Structure 1
Amino acid sequence: MKKILVVQSSARQEGSLTREYTAQLVRQIEAANPGSWVVTRDLGAEPVPHLDATLLGGWMKPAEEQTEAEKAASALSNQLVDELLASDIVVIGSSMYNFGITSTLKAWFDHVLRAGRTFKYTEAGPVGLTPDRKVYVVTARGGRYEGSPLDFQEPYVRQLLGFIGITDVEFVNVEGQSMGPEEAAKGRAEADEVLAALA
């Protein structure tokens, strides 16, 4: 039995290719792992707060010194970290907005990259505390960016995940979606081939 965490970040509920391909990938994972359960964190429908003084206060103050707002902010962050730590597999739907990840996905990473929870500082530098889990990242892109200097999405996400110890990461890129019908169809076909190989 696998515990699957799905993190959706597209602002669109309808017509989102990241949602479509993420759902297909999750079905494949469930088929290969009967009895698995899925937790979905939909950042498009319910964005998590961006970092602010209240959230930082909830992290850094002793519990007895926290305000009610700081306690609430800290509790949500703890829940997000707990969801990640409980997972065996993480599937992230990451639309490309303005060459990078969505601000909602960045906010989620800001919550789950937590010193003492998902990484620790040592004399030799930071060490990730969340290895031994697989991550799939599904992207949808208007142009073709895979392997190009303009792809600020994949290297950044790999860096964030690697910082907390996750190095087993695979990307499914649906590219060329704003380059006309022929190129869009080609991008989908290429993504379909990647999904078929993963199955």
Structure 2
Amino acid sequence: MHTLLRIDSSIRIQDSYSRRMGDYFVSQWTLKHSNGTILERDMARAMLPHLSQNTVNGFFDDSIFSEELSLSDELIEELYQSSEILITCPMYNYGIPSSLKAYFDLIVRTKKTFTADSGIKGLLHHKKAHIISVMGGVHSVPGGMNPLEIHVTSILNHLGITDISYFPLEGTAFPQDLSEKTKSVETLICKHLN
């Protein structure tokens, strides 16, 4: 059974390019996996708390309990349930949204998603990840990744996820050729999923 965990991080509920590309990805993924399950985690509809000292203490001390730790366990369980992960990520002030950073801070946990007994070893093996990154400008190095992809990839690798596909939509601040750029990303998604 295929399960896709979709993580949206745009603050825009409407008129979001990353959400629109995410919707397109899900529609194509569903065609391929008609019996698949989709889990959704939307950072704008259910904001996550930022790390606190008590939460971090609880990462290393099983006697501590809090709502944040319970939420962290819930988020990690969603990752284990999924076979594929879709992350839609717009660029805000040259980085990932703070809501996505809060998500990562709650799921990167020793003995839960990685171990550090003899070097860092991720525990989320055999999962595929897909990153849809959206930027108003053009930030990719020719033939390389853009800053969002680099950041998210580093975290996913830390968790043991190395099978990652990228679907960047850059230059959304320049509407004259945006339709063509969007179609290009949709074509890339179709080729990848078929």
Interval of TM-score (by shorter of Structure 1 and Structure 2)? over 0.9
Match of residue 104 from structure 2: 109
Unmatched segments (≥5 aa) in structure 2:
none
Match of residue 142 from structure 1: 136
Q: Give 2:82's match in structure 1, choosing from 78, 87, 91.
A: 87
Q: What is the TM-score with the length of structure 2 in the denominator? A: 0.92
Aligned partners of 2:120, 2:179: CA distance in 1, in Å?
A: 43
Match of residue 168 from structure 1: 163
Identity %: 27
* Cα deviation 1:122-148 (Å, max 9, x = unaligned): 32x111110101111111110112226
CA contact (8 A) 1:99 1:151 kept: no
Q: What is the TM-score with the length of structure 1 in the denominator? A: 0.90
Measured at CA, do residues 77 and 17 of structure 1 come closer, stay the same or move farther in structure 2, by a change above 3 Å? same
Q: After TM superposition, give the deviation of residue 150 of structure 1 in Å.
A: 9.4
Aligned partners of 1:38, 1:74: CA distance in 2, in Å?
A: 24
Match of residue 73 from structure 1: 68
Q: After TM superposition, give the deviation of residue 29 of structure 1 in Å.
A: 1.2
Q: Tell me how many residue pairs correspond in the alignment.
A: 192
Match of residue 47 from structure 2: 47
* Cα deviation 1:88-113 (Å, max 9, x = unaligned): 01011111111211111011111111
The aligned amino acid for 1:5 is L
Q: Give 2:146's match in structure 1, choosing from 144, 151, 155.
A: 151
- 1:192 match: secondary structure: helix
Runs of 4 or more, structure 1, over 3 Å off, are: 148-151
Unmatched segments (≥5 aa) in structure 1:
none
- 1:169 match: secondary structure: strand
- 1:94 match: secondary structure: strand
- 1:122 match: secondary structure: coil
Q: Give 1:189's match in structure 2, choosing from 165, 168, 183.
A: 183
Aligned partners of 2:92, 2:146: CA distance in 1, in Å?
A: 11
Cα RMSD of the aligned pairs, angstroms, is 1.7
Q: After TM superposition, give the deviation of residue 17 of structure 1 in Å.
A: 0.9
Match of residue 13 from structure 2: 13
Aligned partners of 1:139, 1:151: CA distance in 2, in Å?
A: 8
Q: After TM superposition, give the deviation of residue 56 of structure 1 in Å.
A: 1.4
* Cα deviation 1:6-35 (Å, max 9, x = unaligned): 100000000011111111111211111121
